[in-house]
Structure 1
Amino acid sequence: MIELTVSPIVERKIKQGICVLEARDFPHLGVENALVHLVNHQGQFIGQAYLSAQNKGVGWFISRKKEPINQDFMQALLLEARQKRQSYEHSPLTTAYRLFNQDGDGFGGVTIDRYQDYAVFSWYNEYIYSIKDEIVAAFQAVYPDVLGAYEKIRFKGLDYESAYLYGDEAPEELTVFENGVAYQVFLNNGLMTGIFLDQHEVRGALVDGLAAGKSLLNMFSYTAAFSVAAAMGGARETTSVDLAKRSKELSEAHFQANGLAVDQHRFIVMDVFEYFKYAKRKGLTYDVIVLDPPSFARNKKQTFSVAKDYHQLIAQSIEILSPKGIIIASTNASNVPIEKFKKEIEKGFGRCKHRYLETYRLPSDFVSNQKDESSNYLKVFTIQVEK
């Protein structure tokens, strides 16, 4: 076993409950894709971690004990995780939700989602990928009711992004339910599946009538899941805007899965900033506007970053928002704390009067590490604009 001496700063972070190991804390790291014992400068054992670079940090702290990190270890974590999600497991209205969520469930670098009778594993680094057979075996022992599984590769270095793992193969287009609404998903087509499961509660508010009788504009709409939820909750009309050409076809599939006519629902393939200009030029207004951009995006004309540019979305939304309209402001940027996100939103409002109606964080199936704010990455505000 490799032994790694860590600085007092790292020791303090671990004792505080932070599990992700950051590159700045390991400036001369010569170990990669390995399990290590961490000790302090006095030689005292702190715990076990593994080192493997990913988009978030250079590794994860995983145990305060000297214990084998094997199938039995993972099986115990998965059993505990399953107990936490009993309300989802027994829900007749929701069949797609997260089963295991990185450090929130005790092991960073892997997530597992359930889509009806199938599971989707996401591997975030090379080390976790190297022990995937033990993790999958542990999962099969805990979830014998899952018929089949797929994997997503969320790190660089392999020549594929998505693959079949075991068991029965899912239909090419699988229907799942959330809050009683049907969504058509695809489990083995690139990294995406057709729906972002962390937005259960926000879509639930739309299903429950937040946009009832109103017009809704869904920016960065992807497959228009917010729009479908709004339509099922009585929205008068919806407009979904996304730059991806395939978004229209995928969005229409959700509406068809719920038997919704698309007469009052538009799907527009366009850059959102261009659509803001178009809507203003045409005098279009909306009662509810959903803003859920990627953390970072680039096209031929410009780049967009939630941390620096989100205020532009707010400012341009105000210009096409109906009197007393509602903005749903959302981000999944883990590097943007909720206070910073709120400041960016306030910058967009300027002197425009508004009030916050509701705040959403990750739903209960996306268990987060409560000692680490960045683990609870989702931040959503519903805001009523007084104009």
Structure 2
Amino acid sequence: MTTIQTLRVDPKYVNDLKKGYPLILKDAILNKDALQAEGDLIRLVDQHNRYIGTGYYGNQNKGIGWVFTTKEHETIDDEFFKKRLEKALSLRENYYNDSNTTAFRVVNGEGDGIGGLTIDYYDGYYMASWYSEGIYSFKESIYNALKELVDFKGVYEKKRFDTKGQYTEQDDFVMGTEGDFPIIIKENGMNFAVDLNDGAMTGIFLDQRDVREAIRDHYAQDTNMLNTFSYTGAFSVAAALGGAVKTTSVDLAKRSLPKTIEQFSVNGIDYEAQDMKVMDVFQYFKYAARHELKFDLVVLDPPSFARNKKMTFSTAKDYPKLLADAIQITEKNGIIVASTNNASFGMKKFKTFIDQAFKDTNTKYKIVEQYGLPKDFRATREFPEFNYLKVVFIKKLSK
């Protein structure tokens, strides 16, 4: 952590970085050849050699690193990371004190001043997700700070970057006591089974907490609900607990079936009274149209990008078609929950997709409410594009 490279910033990117833009974009650096090893500290300067900020080198998507601080004399050491964690923990105090919710985000990357790292809490267990080799080089300082600041049952990690074949799923456990998974966490009083040592996923996407609560409390009563790209069926669980007459969960992954059964079971819901389909969502839309199936509540939460043998799906270009298919099998005055976690476009653009789909199907609609990330998923206030989650509740009106 002692090597510091000085990088000159292209003038057109200087103002954004000075205002607090945390991502160091590849195109922003004029002397990229000065970069050496991921994890090296970076001193950013303008064309007149004036200080802009200090960060680190770590390849992640469009960036080559993140800014840690814009204070020229702040040292990036163990104490720096301890202070950042301390602040992040204090901002989540209400979550720690809420017995109805025992899983939430503790560190949300750049929103908490440590770009490239997220830390989630699962009822006494912590899960660190590292998004570049660069940030992973600071693991010792960060784990030492965590050890000092919190009591934990165990700590797990996910390395979400290319490790040249060195990473295996068994490496997830870091310290403390290994968990007997699945463990049951609570979310607004609902139960969810999670496994922190089972590959890339844990069984629940914590950023959809507010959306699940809204479905349970305000939209599910007496509905026939369809949950597409259902993963482990968490939205279906929320709907069933909110009084849905029936839920249908559709996902192409074979493991979605036992995982969805598990989520229903830990909530005391009779899974045999629910419908679960292991099939492609677009094929299911055709099946539903053929059988004249209609739903009062439809959840669309696709991955940003997916590929199967027959087609490639990207939310950036295919969302209007997906939504148009959903409109056809939604009852009049039914609700469609349109969601995307694609960070490459904002809410304004997402709403143009929604408008296009309803125009294409000659259907009127009304946006009832919308959601972004919950409060524990802190985003950089000056740059709303880091608030990647976009969820819109849409009422289908008459044609």
**Residue type matched to 1:384 in 2?**
K
Q: Pick the aligned partner of 2:243 from 234, 244, 256.
A: 234
- Give the C-alpha shift of residue 161 in structure 1: 5.4
CA contact (8 A) 1:209 1:230 kept: no
Task: Give the corresponding residue for 1:141.
Answer: 148
Q: What is the CA–CA distance in structure 2 between the aligned matches of 1:337 and 1:236, rounded to whole Å? A: 34
1:46 aligns with 2:52: yes
Q: Pick the aligned partner of 1:342 from 344, 351, 356.
A: 351
- Give the C-alpha shift of residue 27 in structure 1: 6.2
Deviations 1:132-181 (A, max 9, x none): 111111111111x2111100011112422541000011112111010100
Deviations 1:325-373 (A, max 9, x none): 0000000011111111111111111131110111100000001111112
CA contact (8 A) 1:357 1:383 kept: yes
1:155 aligns with 2:155: no
Label 1:315 to 1:161 Cα distance change in 2 as closer, same or farther (>3 A): farther
**Residue type matched to 2:91 in 1?**
K
Q: Pick the aligned partner of 1:11 from 4, 14, 19.
A: 14
**Residue type matched to 1:51 in 2?**
Y
**Residue type matched to 2:319 in 1?**
Y
Q: Pick the aligned partner of 2:41 from 35, 46, 61.
A: 35
- 1:206-217 equivalent positions in 2, closer than 5 A: 206-217=215-226
CA contact (8 A) 1:369 1:375 kept: yes
Task: Give the corresponding residue for 1:374.
Answer: 385
1:111 aligns with 2:114: no
Q: Pick the aligned partner of 1:245 from 237, 240, 254.
A: 254
**Residue type matched to 1:117 in 2?**
G
CA contact (8 A) 1:209 1:234 kept: no
**Residue type matched to 2:187 in 1?**
E
Q: Normalization by structure 2: what TM-score?
A: 0.94
CA contact (8 A) 2:155 2:174 kept: yes
Unaligned runs of 5+ in 1: none
Q: What is the CA–CA distance in structure 2 between the aligned matches of 1:260 and 1:131, rounded to whole Å? A: 44
CA contact (8 A) 2:18 2:70 kept: no
CA contact (8 A) 2:7 2:30 kept: no
SS of 2:376 mapped into structure 1: coil
**Residue type matched to 1:287 in 2?**
D
With 284-293 and 29-38 compared, the bigger mean Cα shift is at: 29-38
1:353 aligns with 2:364: yes
CA contact (8 A) 2:7 2:29 kept: no
Task: Give the corresponding residue for 1:25.
Answer: 28
**Residue type matched to 1:39 in 2?**
V
**Residue type matched to 1:175 in 2?**
I
| Cα root mean square deviation, aligned | 1.2
Q: What is the CA–CA distance in structure 2 between the aligned matches of 1:40 and 1:219, rounded to whole Å? A: 48
CA contact (8 A) 2:10 2:30 kept: no
Q: What is the CA–CA distance in structure 1 between the aligned matches of 2:91 and 2:168, rounded to whole Å? A: 29
Task: Give the corresponding residue for 2:272.
Answer: 263
- Give the C-alpha shift of residue 28 in structure 1: 5.1
- Give the C-alpha shift of residue 2 in structure 1: 1.7
Task: Give the corresponding residue for 1:276.
Answer: 285
- 1:161-310 equivalent positions in 2, closer than 5 A: 162=169, 163-310=172-319
Task: Give the corresponding residue for 1:120.
Answer: 127
**Residue type matched to 2:14 in 1?**
E
Q: What is the CA–CA distance in structure 2 between the aligned matches of 1:28 and 1:239, rounded to whole Å? A: 54
**Residue type matched to 1:368 in 2?**
A
- Give the C-alpha shift of residue 16 in structure 1: 2.4
CA contact (8 A) 1:287 1:322 kept: yes
CA contact (8 A) 1:240 1:266 kept: yes
Label 1:259 to 1:168 Cα distance change in 2 as closer, same or farther (>3 A): same
With 274-283 and 160-169 compared, the bigger mean Cα shift is at: 160-169
CA contact (8 A) 2:129 2:160 kept: yes
**Residue type matched to 2:15 in 1?**
R
**Residue type matched to 2:378 in 1?**
V
SS of 1:18 mapped into structure 2: coil
With 308-317 and 53-62 compared, the bigger mean Cα shift is at: 53-62
Q: Normalization by structure 1: what TM-score?
A: 0.97
1:87 aligns with 2:94: yes
- Give the C-alpha shift of residue 187 in structure 1: 0.3
Q: What is the CA–CA distance in structure 2 between the aligned matches of 1:360 and 1:161, rounded to whole Å? A: 36
Q: What is the CA–CA distance in structure 1 between the aligned matches of 2:50 and 2:28, rounded to whole Å? A: 19
Q: What is the CA–CA distance in structure 1 between the aligned matches of 2:31 and 2:396, rounded to whole Å? A: 51
Overall identity of the aligned pairs, in %: 44
Q: Pick the aligned partner of 1:323 from 332, 344, 347.
A: 332
With 272-281 and 369-378 compared, the bigger mean Cα shift is at: 369-378
Unaligned runs of 5+ in 2: none
**Residue type matched to 1:367 in 2?**
R
Label 1:309 to 1:28 Cα distance change in 2 as closer, same or farther (>3 A): farther
With 200-209 and 109-118 compared, the bigger mean Cα shift is at: 200-209
- Give the C-alpha shift of residue 236 in structure 1: 0.8
Task: Give the corresponding residue for 2:77.
Answer: 70
SS of 2:339 mapped into structure 1: strand
**Residue type matched to 1:90 in 2?**
N
